[in-house]
Amino acid sequence: MTYCNFLLKRTILTLLLICMSLSARANPMEGPEDMTFYSPPIIAIGTPGELVWYRDANIDIGNGAPDFDAWNVLYHSTNSKGDPNKVTGTVIIPESAWKGGGERPVISYAVGTHGLDQRCAPSIQMTYGTDYENVNIRAALNKGYAVLVTDNPGYTNGDVPTYLVGGSQARAALDIVKAATEIPGVDIDAGSKVAVWGYSQGGQTAAWVGGIHNEYAPNVNLVAIAAGGTPADFIDTAHYLNGSIGASFILSAVVGIAEQYPTMLPLYDLLNGEGEEVVGITKNQCVFESLFEFMNQDTQYFTIDNMDLSTVLEEVSSVKDALQLQDIVSDISVPLYQYHGQADEFIPLDQHYKLKKRYCEKFDDVTFALYPSEHIVTQFQAAPHVLSWLGDRFSGKTMEGSCNVANVDPVSTANPGGGNFVVSLDEWVLDASIKLKKLRQTVTLPNDSTFSADTDMTSKALSGDMNIPEFFTKLWIGLPLDVKLAVIPAEAVSGEASLDGEGILHLHGKAYADIKVKSAGISFFQIPFGCRTRSPAEFSLDLDGPVSMLGSGDLKFEGTTEFEPMRHCGLFNGLFTALMSGTGQKYTFNVLPPNPIVY
Amino acid sequence: MFYNYKNKVSVFLITILIFLCYLVYLENSRGDVDGTKEDNNGTEAERTLNSAPFDIDKLSESVVREQQVKAFNATSLQLGVGDIESPVSYRPEFISPLEWEVLRRVSGNEEDPEKSLANYINHVRFAKQEELWEQLVETNEVGRRHSMAEQLLANIPSRVKNNNISVHHAQRLQMKLLSDLVEDPEKRRSRISEEADKIGVIFRVEKIVSVLGG
């Protein structure tokens, strides 16, 4: 009798689940408006990519975004072991109709490291307008693409993200494509061309997608992958990070991988007391908080018997296996754009370039672009190049990759690890102009002007210099006289630089330049060569904004300054003082990283 | 014969009379040239000079040099003189013909050319006076230097108001000038405070203590 009751109850429950599942498939539910959205209904079952529920999302991705519709989604997926899970994410679609050919293309945007705490989830960060990747998402929307942003597994209530478990992340990035098509009235076609674009953690996700999509999600019409700053070799990357500026990434990775593979990586069996404390802290932090808190820390101080990383990997082989499970296999069947910063201080360049070579052994539509700067800058500098490349792939343009480019292997120019976190702007392009108030003339600095600086985020110092090649620009002073003006850097650039826990960059400094006047051509109007402002003009360099500004072309300093009276102009000091000096001289200094090189 | 002689005397007297009238006229004219009728817009002679078209090709280095020096020296005569007001139709003495032409043409591009020209002229005068004061610092001409310093101090608020110099620059210049003018630290502080007030700055004593070392 008891067994009969048990069977009856199981049958009813199964029928109920099947009914709910069928019902959900036919008409996805609107999810709750509060944080219970992140608590999946326990009885919900479904196939990968099936939408559990959705809701309208009120997100803020910053100024310059087109009008769009957005939804939060919670959908079925599977983890790297093949077990079902449920993942949250955001679907964003421009309001304006797609103007290109065919259906609106879709970008599954794979985010970089956000942090282990639930509040760091992209869907939550976008709600508050604080997601540090907003600028890239905006750029993709401005191209007219639908942008799908998975949070990655583990941001549902009570869970821990399986951070850097490539197989789980890749499945979530593919499954959100199907899930998005199930939102009622959404402007995404199931057959739309899809690209996956990601950087850093997202680069790992994107590269993993290349390896599994044929088998896991063959119905997703994947046409291209862009993967940058990719950790392809986990052991190599772990050694590079350990004890270095990006030490927090290895700490978070250990937590994330242990969450997925608790037997292979028995975290709490390996940690000492301090290690347990560190893990507890990391789990409650977002990326920039962890970055600064654990900068240059070595894992050996957190392990039992203070085993160093090499010892752990040698003595507990399953840990090594768990890390190596996240390595990128070199399978790919769609065009691939790989990119990396030559001065990347977090993810080693050489292991990513080696991956390119392995890809090229099997597939020739691979392009590797080498960007000049460090990790964070490259993420945002690359966006327009990536989107241009993706645009060509969506439009079906064929191109030759860089497998046959005969360059010697690139050599890293990263600042040494273990020291201060210094973002070096090495001979960046200085696109600058000064508008002379009285003469109403704009003086544009030569194209080959450069700005070099070290922004030391640890000591909070900015130091550098401007290099402006000698140039003269003609000035109109009412008479047909050959009068020219030059801007000559006078003192070093100096000030303060910092990056806060919210990912906001703060730069406050000064640059100095002499404003010089000279004449030639008419005998009576010879101005002595030394004619210049009595002391150098001071240009304030003030900027507070998302860290993405470093690479996105938004490192722009604007303001007004005063030119001192002119001196050493012979008999014309008074005239040139009246014409040139005074307040209200407007300037714009836009500092841009140099262009990438295809390798 | 007598009539003939009488006629000749009459013609002679009339000629003398006309000549005398001419001398009186000339005398009157000279009074104007000496400045008895000078206003903000210069003398009649200057007006006549300025009505001639400016021909850059006819200028030589020596002429320009002479004109520039003359105009520069004329700024030292501009003591106790306030801002020249618009409209300024004729070249002031402390503006050389070349400067005049440049300023007229440059201000012609402004929204309010008349006002702009006056502002340029006042700024040029201020700049020349500041330069002159700097030159006098190296000499023993204390009286002349102090007069120039006072002139500059009096003119600073107007230069700030017309955006020729910033408040920051103005305050630095005030301090430099008063360091020259007032020896007693206490009196100097008091005067700095007074002058700062004229450009809308509340002067803090603790700051000047370190600047002046007093």
The three-point CA angle A198-A105-A45 to 5° equals 75
Structure confidence at residue A9 as a pLDDT band (50, 70, 90): very low
Q: What are phi and psi of B159, to 5 degrees?
A: -65, -35
Q: Where are the alpha helices (DSSP H) in A90-229?
A: 122-128, 134-142, 166-181, 201-216
Residue B22 is predicted with a pLDDT of 53
A448 contacts: CB under 8 Å, gap ≥ 6: A469
Mean model confidence pLDDT for chain A: 93
Asked if B124's CB is within 8 angstroms of A581's CB, the reply is no
Rounded to a whole number, what is the distance in Å from the CA of A536 to chain B's nearest CA? 13
A429 φψ region: left (φ > 0), alpha (ψ -120 to 50), beta (else)? beta
| Residue in A with minimal Cα distance to B134 | A567
Q: What percentage of chain A reaches a pLDDT higher than 70? A: 95
Give the C-alpha separation, A195 to A107, whole Å.
5
Contact at CB, A579 and B102, closer than 8 angstroms: yes
Element (H, E) at A400: none
Lowest pLDDT segment from A459-463, A557-561, B33-37: B33-37
CB A121 within 8 A of CB A157: no
Per-residue pLDDT, A174:
98
CB-CB neighbours of A239 under 10 Å: 16
List the alpha helices (DSSP H) in chain B: 2-31, 44-51, 61-74, 97-107, 113-137, 142-161, 167-181, 185-198, 205-212
Task: List chain B residues with pLDDT less than 50.
Answer: 1, 21, 24-51, 208-214
Q: Is the pLDDT of residue A303 over 90?
A: yes
Contact A571 B68 (CB under 8 A): yes
More confident position, A67 or B44: A67
Contact A452, A372 (CB under 8 A): no
Cβ pair A396, A561 in contact under 8 A: no
Of B65, B68, B106, the CB nearest to A478: B106
pLDDT of residue A348 exceeding 50: yes
Distance CA B50, CA B91 (A): 7
Q: Which long-range contacts (CB under 8 A, 24 or more apart) does A307-316 make?
A: A307/A270, A309/A238, A309/A239, A309/A242, A310/A239, A312/A270, A313/A235, A313/A238, A316/A270
**Beta carbons of B99 and A574 less than 8 Å apart:** yes
Please enumerate in sequence order all residues whose Cβ is within 8 A of that of A480, keeping only pairs 6 or more positions apart, or say none: B56
Residue to mutate among B60, B65, B134, B164, with most A CBs inside 10 A, is B164
- Closest CB from B72, B106, B120 relative to A571: B72
The per-residue pLDDT for range B65-97, each reduced to its tens digit, is 999 999 999 998 888 889 999 999 889 999 999
Q: What 3-state DSSP class applies to B167?
A: helix
Question: Which amino acid is it at A476?
Answer: W
Residue B161: closest C-alpha in chain A: A583
Q: Kindly tell me if the per-residue pLDDT of A185 is higher than 70.
A: yes
Chain A: give the shortest CA distance to residue B198, in Å: 18
ipTM confidence:
0.74
Query: At CB < 8 Å, which residues of chain B contact A?
Result: 56, 59-61, 63-65, 68-69, 72, 75, 98-99, 101-106, 108-109, 120, 123-125, 127-128, 130-131, 163-166, 168-169
Helix or strand run (H / E) with residue A522? none
Q: Which tokens belong to A289?
A: 């908080």
Measure B163 CA to nearest chain A CA, in Å: 6
For A329, other C-beta atoms within 10 Å of its C-beta total 14
pLDDT of residue A17: 41
- Which of A477, A524, A573 has its CB closest to that of B64? A524
Give B185: exposed, middle or buried? Use CB within 10 Å, 0-12, 13-18, 19+. middle
Token couple for A454: 């070290």
DSSP A526-552: ---TT-EESS-EEEEEEEEEEGGGGTT
The residues, any chain, with a CB within 8 Å of residue B60's CB and separated by 6 or more, are: A523, A524
Report pLDDT for A245: 97
Q: Which residue in A523, A524, A583 is closest to B165 by CB distance?
A: A583
Chain B residues with beta carbon closer than 8 angstroms to that of A575:
98-99, 102-103, 124
Question: Is it the case that residue A6 has pLDDT exceeding 50?
Answer: no
Chain B: nearest CA to A577, how far in angstroms?
7
Contacts of A438 in chain B (CB under 8 A): 106, 120
pLDDT of residue B57: 75
Query: Which pLDDT score is estimated for A399?
Result: 86
Provide φ and ψ at A436, rounded to 5°: -75, 120
Whether pLDDT at A99 is above 60: yes
Chain B residues near residue A540 by CB distance under 8 angstroms: none
CB contact under 8 A, B61 and A526: yes
- Position A483 scores a pLDDT of 87
Compute the distance between CA of residue B17 and CA of residue A280 in angstroms, rounded to an integer. Answer: 117
CA A400 to chain centre: 26
CB contact under 8 A, B63 and A524: yes
Segment A77-82 shows an average pLDDT of: 97
- Give the model's pLDDT for residue B27: 43
pLDDT of A247 reads 98
- pLDDT value, residue A56: 98
DSSP B75: G
- The reported pLDDT for the residue numbered A4 is 43
Which of A477, A481, A581 lies closest to B106 in CB terms? A477
Residue with structure tokens 């030759």?
Answer: A400
Of A224 and B7, which is predicted with more confidence?
A224
Closest-approach residue (CA) in chain B for A480? B56
CA distance A569 to chain B (A): 11
Contact indicator for A87, A74 with CB cutoff of 8 Å = yes
Radius of gyration of chain A (CA): 28
pLDDT at A288 over 80: yes
- pLDDT tens figures, A366-385: 999 999 999 999 999 999 99
Chain B CB within 8 Å of residue A574 CB = yes
Exposure letters A68-83 (e unless 16+ CB within 10 A, then b) = bbbbbbbbbbbbbeee
Q: What is the pLDDT of residues A576-595, one digit of tens each?
A: 999 999 999 999 999 999 99
pLDDT of residue B19: 57
Cis omega before residue A536 (within 30°)?
no
Nearest to B163 among A574, A578, A582 (CB): A582
Q: Say which DSSP state A307 is in.
A: -
pLDDT at A11: 42
Q: Which of A18-32, A53-67, A116-130, A156-170 has the lowest mean pLDDT?
A: A18-32
